[in-house]
Chains A and B, each alone.
Chain A
């Protein structure tokens, strides 16, 4: 249990945020290679219901600055809902979520939580980047414009500066030569890398990934994962929902296993993935493994075998929803 005091501490508004004293045209951003400091995410007693359906039933989770947290769990367990709650795309029913002590979506005043108006929520969101399963790149803008848009509109950075930074970020994800391409002219993996560059453009303290590779062809998964891996070592706090177990074991500091709106267990990958304490975790992992990255001791699967060596995330690109193991029952 982390001290509640850190929850109450308010951080001063970030420099350059539109809410704070009119951002000058020359508002500067740290250059792309300066690692951004990770944020501390605290999730306390979060419940979320859609009508009668309780999707999150009391989530408590502390994510230390710079830590990489991977959330695993069957389909419908509330992983996406939790991620969306962290940047307030989905307001929670009760409980609260804070980043570096700043409550997301509310202003805390003693025992009162005042709901924030949209401009303030937008300012908070600039500290929390999000990468979507379906990329959601702005289809009418080039890769460069996609990356430069948020700094220009949300932080008031001028165009030249935003584009210079966008170029650096595109180089970072290995897409320098694609800056003039429109999203539809890019492969899925390239689109997702642009989306990561776009999320990085605001220098977020926390980056959320919702199944960043499950809309990708198996060959493209690795190019995206390697970009995420490099971010993990750069010190940004990462929260990743994925079905790539071996990737989770590789990069995660903490693995969180969720089922039916609750956290079943959490801990380092060596514990949760390799020696799960709960039966539910064990069966889930077993199903993922048999379909996925279990050591291939049988004869290599034929090319037509849907449960190919790339695992459950290997659904074809035109089939955006990957089957999580629950679906395969």
Chain B
């Protein structure tokens, strides 16, 4: 609804339509034009003549129908936008024109087969280590919140160990597991039945070592982050669910977790994006993911900067895609947490260029 605070532009826009000019609307001092004063507002309660609206007489019905809202302008924002735009253009200009970046080389290698193969390895590592990390992290978080002190301390110990050792050390330990335990044997205890018996070094490929190293390390962090989200959900929600006889599993997965997601998601995407770039650490295992591939190539060609740029631009592309995903996933989980969802960038663009009213306040 319109209120007396907004500027009415009827004076400018609709002079042709009749003798009554909009000027007298402007003369109505703020606060005395209760166009939409809530009925029965407490302050009105005891005043005689509650229906005083009729006697207002400042705005006639035709005028009311003609009133238009002009959105507030923000000149400061425009100035700031221009400044930021200029700065960005300057940086971009130096970036494009400085020949030392060797953009030609970048373009030549950007879609090279070996680079794409490395990129796919990086994505595979991210997905698998991320799935292991967050899957196990959820289990650890629920364990940590368990009423059983045994279960909760198992979870605590896991996080303690995997958060206190450097990731690099963990990766190298997994990869060199064969040195510590030469064979891995899995059998039924107290019998001679063996299910698996293999040399550790055959089993522990760089890929597996990388997934275990990254995934378990990630799980320790994810556990704390998911637990934090769960703790942020109001206790009353659990109580209401218990009182309704909803089973524990549904209470966690359907009532608490969806609401915890709002707190979890921003940090979770931080972690995932960190993981994308963090996979570059597995170059120590000589696993040919994106970063290792780039290193191999510039080792041969000596074109260090442009090759690093190739890897960097790919990381930027992945991160951007993730950030867009994050926006929409967060939006999905904010349903019910905010009264009205803000429009998506797409909707905002459409509203701006399609000239459709953005708010319900503007009369059609």
User: A: which residues have CB within 8 A of B?
Assistant: 18, 87, 89, 118-119, 122-126, 128-130, 132, 134, 136-142, 149-150, 153-154, 182-185, 198-199, 202, 219, 300, 302-303
Contact = CB atoms under 8 A, between A and B. Distances in A.
A139 B337 contact: yes
Contacts of A202: 244-245
A129 B40 CA distance: 35
23 contacts: A89-B239, A89-B242, A118-B248, A122-B246, A124-B245, A125-B242, A125-B245, A126-B245, A132-B236, A138-B241, A139-B259, A140-B259, A149-B246, A153-B246, A154-B247, A182-B336, A183-B336, A184-B336, A184-B338, A185-B339, A219-B40, A300-B46, A303-B43
A182 B334 CA distance: 11
A125 B236 contact: no
B284 interface: no
Interface string B239-259: 111111111101000110011
Contacts of B239: 89, 132, 136
B333 A140 contact: yes
A137 B336 CA distance: 11
Interface residues of B, number: 30
Given A125-B244, A129-B244, A136-B236, 8 more contacts: A126-B245, A128-B243, A129-B243, A138-B259, A140-B258, A198-B244, A199-B244, A303-B45
Interface string B255-267: 1001100000000
A141 B248 CA distance: 18
A123 B242 CA distance: 10
Nearest to B240: A136
A18 B249 CA distance: 14
Contacts of B40: 219
Interface string B326-339: 00000001011111
Contacts of B254: 149, 153
B347 interface: no
Contacts of A154: 244-247
Contacts of B247: 18, 119, 122, 153-154
B234 to A, nearest CB: 8
Interface in B207-239: 234, 236-237, 239
